[in-house]
């Protein structure tokens, strides 16, 4: 480690002699510093979130006011509608949830939380963000080729996705697939780095049970990602060959099997849900212990339930395929495994709630977001049961109930937990606080209109409304004024939800320059990142910390203060 | 609960709705209990001057029994839900009651072809009656359906029947339903199938026996007017992308495969 650091310092020093432009480039664009790379991931992820949000705006407007020109977009054609729903999903999962939650916060926080000066492989880290950047360019390129972007849903089932005559997006399909594959490569590179760093670079004295839950969850997520992504990449290569080289792995008319892709895809796709969930749970764990001034209830129990959930999530994938033409007897097995996943997940949530027991809870902005996460994710969790049990999935499969359900899981994961983390670590990242009033406006606007957007979709799902249909006026049972009213209500909520992000954007950028100065440990937290100055300089710590205890020793009897940092040798 | 939104128009739609209702009650109980506990803790243990938080590790049995005991109950609830769900599933998807009649449903981008067996009750005979996007069945009769696709994946879904099944090119997937209520219901394609997926709808009309005979006669004589086609003509949005000709090879290969798998 120290060797790497020396090399970096030399590099930085060497660049000081050159022109100002170059030093800016080496410091912010081609940096190997984990913090800069983390922020690069974050900014790219937030930009992509804006694009995904814009797509959502355009297609929800089409649903509410079918056929009318959408302000800022124009009339939405069916092809464009399909392109936008496909890319909204792809972007939000692969280019928002994963980069922001795992790559951005993982990069920024892992070295700080385990008390080292940088990642184990800084240059590999830079390669990861560069591949990620290329994947974005490829995705954007796919919108401008002949035929437009890919519109075969983010699940990309063949033969629709593999035969250009069916999808009518010849290069759009291939570029989309290439972009997703590149993004996965970027994450594999980054993931190797996370694991190696956590295993080898922990501060002296830090046992595995002294590692903060967030670092654990990111690493477990990375291991799960690595375990599940192989079949998907194999499938992606086969699909790409079907598209471009004329092979027929998934084409039934020439002996292939389209259902094979579904297995490969969902074998990755379901663990992927937990890949992004776990870092979010980690973020929330860090925040609720800090603001409740309480030790995390059952550190080991939480750890075991995360591992159990992760393991179980590898054998539930076919609940996405109950009615896809697989042997119906398989559905029984997958119903059992799917419903049983409620056991470890509920245990985890109970531990979080139990952490609040006997606490002294301060409702600062990060804590508000963390509580909002628990409540909304709970809704997402319980509404998964009718989908995971085969008897009711008969009806609910691919209805708006599914959409509402997974947005109640993914929105808390990718958006609410992300904001919780941003508000929590913002003082560390930029050395200043965000404005609390603007933060409150942003919080309430987001949470209220998120519910206003997705609660009605449960009703539409119960009314039998299917996904991915650009105009429900074609279906007499769904064309009633009541149901259209619900759609307009949801769309209105979405527009307000997006508008309430404006105070955040303003707050985020203006606070970097004018916000109240933050000290090193503004929240009085225990973990090691708060031992570094805010913002941490290159190399992170003035002197590398030594760890004496676990990360959650709050309100320990006999101490004067209600927190006891990991690196502090004596009583606090 | 679901019948508030939609009629229960098939024999098993009531069963599906009942399982859903059971899930709503069981899961709803836990949901309310968890939320209530969270809300109570949030208010009861808010920060107050001079009150310090307590030190609880959650590692001792006396502490974590509060987590573990609810878990045994949750596992019990899971067993009940799984059993109820599998019973319905086995009835709908794993058993095939004796049939009164057979229909064939063929999906293609982006319409349905429905083949009624005609008076003899046999498919692939001279008296078969084909329709587009317009399916007619008799009430209280067990129908077996044969699902086929000519190009990509489609999904034959009748929400009022609580029925849904993917259609896969190259395969014939068999299932059954028995309609119990006279009326006209939506048939939706529930699997993304390309640019025109949003218009791939149709209707299924459940007739009384007399009415069914009359309608089939009208279709045979060419005097029947399809409601569905009329609705599409009033479509406010033109389909921007017209479907171009599929290369002959692909279609032929698909046809052969359809025939050979029958």
Question: What burial letters (b/e) apply to A7-44, b meaning 16+ CB within 10 Å?
Answer: ebeeebeebeeeeeeeeeebeeeebbbbbbbbbbbbeb
pLDDT band at residue A58, thresholds of 50, 70 and 90? Answer: very high
Q: What is the mean pLDDT of residues A540-550?
A: 93
* A160/B46 CB distance under 8 A: no
Strands (E), B96-253: 101-108, 111-116, 129-132, 134-138, 142-149, 154-158, 163-167, 173-178, 183-189, 201-207
The answer to whether residue A513 neighbours chain B at the CB level (below 8 Å) is no
- CA gap A318, A267 in Å, rounded: 8
Closest CA to B90 of B16, B145, B159: B16
Q: What's the pLDDT at A5?
A: 44
DSSP string, A131-172: HHHHHHHHHHHHTSSTT-S--STTTT-TTTTT-HHHHS-HHH
3 state SS of B167 = strand
Which of residues 111 through 150 in chain B touch A, CB cutoff 8 A? Answer: none
- CA gap A47, A264 in Å, rounded: 30
Q: Are strands B142-149 and B173-178 parallel, antiparallel or unpaired?
A: antiparallel
pLDDT band at residue A12, thresholds of 50, 70 and 90? Answer: very low
Mean of per-residue pLDDT scores for chain A: 92
Q: What's the pLDDT at B226?
A: 72
Q: What's the pLDDT at A8?
A: 46
Q: Has residue B254 got a pLDDT over 80?
A: no
* A391/B162 CB distance under 8 A: no
3 state SS of A551 = coil
Q: What's the pLDDT at B229?
A: 66
Q: Has residue B121 got a pLDDT over 50?
A: yes
- Cβ(A381)–Cβ(A349) below 8 Å: yes
Residue of A nearest to B70 (CA): A347
Tokens of A250: 């998934």
List the single range of A451-455, A559-563, B252-256 with lowest mean pLDDT: B252-256
* List of chain B residues whose C-beta atoms are within 8 Å of the C-beta of residue A81: 198
List the single range of A164-173, A553-562, B60-69 with lowest mean pLDDT: B60-69
Q: What is the mean pLDDT of residues B119-140?
A: 90
Q: Which residue of B195, B200, B250, B252 to mutate against A (max A Cβ within 10 Å)?
A: B195
Closest CA to B163 of B204, B200, B134: B204
Q: Has residue A4 got a pLDDT over 60?
A: no
Q: Has residue B238 got a pLDDT over 80?
A: no
- Cβ(A183)–Cβ(A133) below 8 Å: no
Q: What's the pLDDT at A305?
A: 93
Q: What is the mean pLDDT of residues A236-246?
A: 95
Tokens of B214: 């009359």
pTM of the shown model: 0.91
Tokens of B202: 């149709």
* A252/B71 CB distance under 8 A: no
- The alpha carbon of residue B23 is apart from the nearest alpha carbon of chain A, in Å, by 7
Q: What is the mean pLDDT of residues A252-273?
A: 94
What pLDDT digit, counting tens, does each position of B198-209 carry?
888 889 999 999
- CA gap B4, A167 in Å, rounded: 37
Nearest 10 degrees: Cα torsion A192, A530, A207, A293: -120
List the single range of A26-30, A377-381, A564-568, B250-254 with lowest mean pLDDT: B250-254
Q: Has residue A510 got a pLDDT over 60?
A: yes
Tokens of A438: 């603007």
Q: Has residue A96 got a pLDDT over 90?
A: yes
pLDDT band at residue A128, thresholds of 50, 70 and 90? Answer: very high
Q: What is the mean pLDDT of residues A393-398?
A: 94
Looking at chain B, the whole-number percentage of residues with pLDDT higher than 70 is 86
Q: Has residue B126 got a pLDDT over 90?
A: no
DSSP character at residue A478: G
Query: Is pLDDT larger for residue B64 or for residue A114?
Result: A114
List the single range of A6-20, A327-341, A556-570, B247-261 with lowest mean pLDDT: B247-261
- Cβ(A61)–Cβ(A129) below 8 Å: no
Q: Has residue B222 got a pLDDT over 60?
A: yes
- Cβ(B202)–Cβ(B154) below 8 Å: no
Cross-strand partners of B205: B136, B184
Q: Has residue A347 got a pLDDT over 50?
A: yes
- Cβ(A202)–Cβ(A116) below 8 Å: yes
Cross-strand partners of A70: A74
Q: What's the pLDDT at A157?
A: 95
Nearest 10 degrees: Cα torsion A344, A349, A355, A357: -120
Q: What's the pLDDT at B235?
A: 52
- Cβ(B159)–Cβ(B188) below 8 Å: yes
pLDDT band at residue B230, thresholds of 50, 70 and 90? Answer: low
Q: What's the pLDDT at A16?
A: 43
Handedness of CA B60, B65, B67, B68 (dihedral sign): positive
Which of residues 18 through 57 in chain A touch B, CB cutoff 8 A? Answer: none
Q: Has residue A15 got a pLDDT over 60?
A: no
Q: What's the pLDDT at B241?
A: 34
Q: What is the mean pLDDT of residues A286-299?
A: 95
Q: Which residue of A253, A309, A329 to mutate against B (max B Cβ within 10 Å)?
A: A253
3 state SS of B111 = strand
* B241/A385 CB distance under 8 A: no
3 state SS of A23 = helix
pLDDT band at residue A571, thresholds of 50, 70 and 90? Answer: confident
Query: Is pLDDT larger for residue B26 or for residue B251?
Result: B26
Residue with tokens 């903060």: A212
A324 vs A166, A327, B117, B194, CA distance in Å? 19, 9, 26, 17
Q: What is the mean pLDDT of residues A139-152?
A: 94
Q: Has residue B258 got a pLDDT over 80?
A: no
List the single range of A96-110, B83-97, B117-131 with lowest mean pLDDT: B117-131
């Amino acid at each position: 480690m120290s060797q790497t650091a020396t090399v970096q310092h030399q590099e930085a020093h060497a660049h000081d002699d050159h022109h100002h432009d170059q030093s800016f480039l080496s410091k912010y664009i081609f940096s190997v510093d984990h913090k800069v790379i983390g922020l690069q991931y974050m900014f790219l992820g937030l930009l992509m979130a804006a694009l995904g949000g814009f797509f959502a705006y355009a297609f929800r407007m089409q649903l509410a006011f079918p056929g009318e020109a959408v302000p800022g977009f124009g009339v939405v054609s069916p092809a464009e509608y399909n392109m936008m729903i496909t890319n909204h999903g792809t972007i939000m999962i692969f280019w928002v949830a994963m980069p922001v939650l795992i790559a951005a916060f993982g990069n920024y926080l892992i070295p700080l939380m385990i008390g080292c000066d940088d990642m184990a492989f800084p240059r590999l880290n830079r390669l990861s963000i560069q591949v990620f950047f290329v994947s974005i360019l490829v995705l954007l390129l796919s919108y401008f080729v002949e035929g437009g972007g890919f519109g075969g849903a983010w699940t990309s089932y063949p033969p629709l996705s593999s035969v250009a005559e069916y999808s009518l997006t010849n290069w759009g399909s291939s570029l989309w697939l290439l972009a997703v594959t590149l993004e996965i490569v970027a994450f594999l590179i980054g993931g190797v780095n996370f694991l190696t760093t956590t295993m080898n670079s922990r501060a002296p004295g830090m046992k595995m049970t002294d590692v903060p839950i967030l670092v654990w969850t990111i690493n477990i997520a990375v291991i799960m990602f690595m375990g599940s992504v192989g079949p998907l990449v194999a499938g992606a290569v086969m699909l790409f060959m079907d598209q471009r080289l004329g092979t027929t792995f998934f084409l039934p008319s020439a002996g292939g099997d389209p259902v094979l892709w579904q297995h490969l895809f969902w074998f990755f796709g379901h663990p992927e849900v937990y890949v992004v969930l776990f870092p979010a749970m980690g973020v929330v764990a860090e925040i609720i212990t800090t603001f409740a001034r309480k030790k995390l209830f059952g550190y080991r129990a939480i750890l075991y339930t995360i591992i159990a959930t992760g393991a179980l999530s590898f054998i539930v994938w076919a609940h996405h395929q109950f009615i896809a033409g697989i042997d119906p007897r398989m559905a029984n097995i997958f119903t059992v495994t799917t419903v049983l996943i409620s056991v470890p997940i509920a245990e985890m949530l109970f531990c979080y709630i139990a952490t609040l027991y006997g606490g002294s809870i301060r409702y600062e902005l990060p804590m508000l977001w963390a509580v909002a996460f628990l409540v909304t994710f709970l809704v997402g969790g319980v509404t998964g049961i009718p989908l995971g049990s085969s008897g009711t999935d008969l009806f609910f499969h691919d209805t708006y109930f599914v959409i509402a359900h997974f947005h109640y899981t993914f929105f808390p994961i990718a958006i609410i937990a992300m904001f919780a983390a941003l508000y929590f670590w913002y003082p560390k990242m930029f050395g200043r606080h965000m404005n609390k009033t603007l933060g409150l406006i942003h919080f309430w606007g987001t949470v209220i209109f998120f519910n206003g957007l997705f609660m009605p979709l449960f009703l539409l799902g119960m009314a039998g409304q299917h996904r991915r249909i650009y105009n429900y006026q074609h279906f007499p049972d769904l064309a009633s004024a009541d149901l259209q009213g619900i759609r307009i209500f949801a769309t209105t909520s979405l527009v307000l939800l997006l508008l309430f992000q404006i105070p955040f954007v303003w707050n985020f950028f203006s606070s970097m320059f004018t916000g109240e100065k933050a000290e090193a440990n503004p929240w009085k937290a225990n973990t090691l990142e708060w031992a570094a100055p805010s913002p941490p300089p290159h190399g992170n710590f003035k002197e590398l910390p030594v760890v004496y205890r676990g990360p959650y020793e709050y309100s320990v009897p006999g101490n004067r203060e209600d927190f006891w940092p990991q690196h502090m040798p004596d009583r606090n | 609960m679901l019948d508030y939104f939609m009629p229960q128009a098939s024999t098993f739609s009531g069963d599906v709705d009942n399982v859903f209702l059971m899930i709503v009650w069981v899961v709803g109980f836990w949901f309310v209990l968890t939320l209530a506990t969270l809300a109570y803790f949030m208010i009861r243990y808010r920060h107050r001057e001079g009150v310090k938080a307590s030190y609880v590790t959650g590692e001792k049995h006396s502490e974590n029994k509060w987590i573990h005991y609810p878990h045994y109950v949750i596992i019990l609830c899971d067993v009940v839900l799984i059993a109820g769900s599998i019973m319905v599933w086995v009835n709908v998807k794993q058993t095939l009651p004796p049939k009164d009649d057979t229909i064939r449903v063929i999906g293609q981008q982006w319409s349905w072809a429905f083949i009624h067996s005609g008076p003899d009750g046999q498919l692939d005979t001279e008296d078969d009656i084909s329709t587009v996007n317009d399916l007619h069945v008799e009430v209280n009769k067990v129908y077996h359906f044969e699902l086929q696709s000519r190009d990509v994946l489609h999904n034959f879904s009748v929400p009022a029947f609580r029925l849904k099944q993917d259609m896969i090119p190259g395969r014939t997937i068999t299932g059954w339903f028995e309609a119990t209520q006279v009326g006209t219901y939506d048939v939706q394609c529930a699997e993304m199938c390309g640019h025109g997926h949003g218009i791939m709808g149709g209707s299924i009309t459940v007739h009384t026996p007399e009415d069914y005979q009359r309608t089939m006669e009208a279709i045979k004589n060419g005097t029947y007017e399809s409601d569905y086609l009329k609705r599409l003509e009033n479509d406010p949005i033109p389909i921007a992308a017209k479907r171009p000709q599929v290369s002959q090879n692909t279609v032929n290969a698909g046809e052969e495969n359809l025939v050979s798998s029958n």
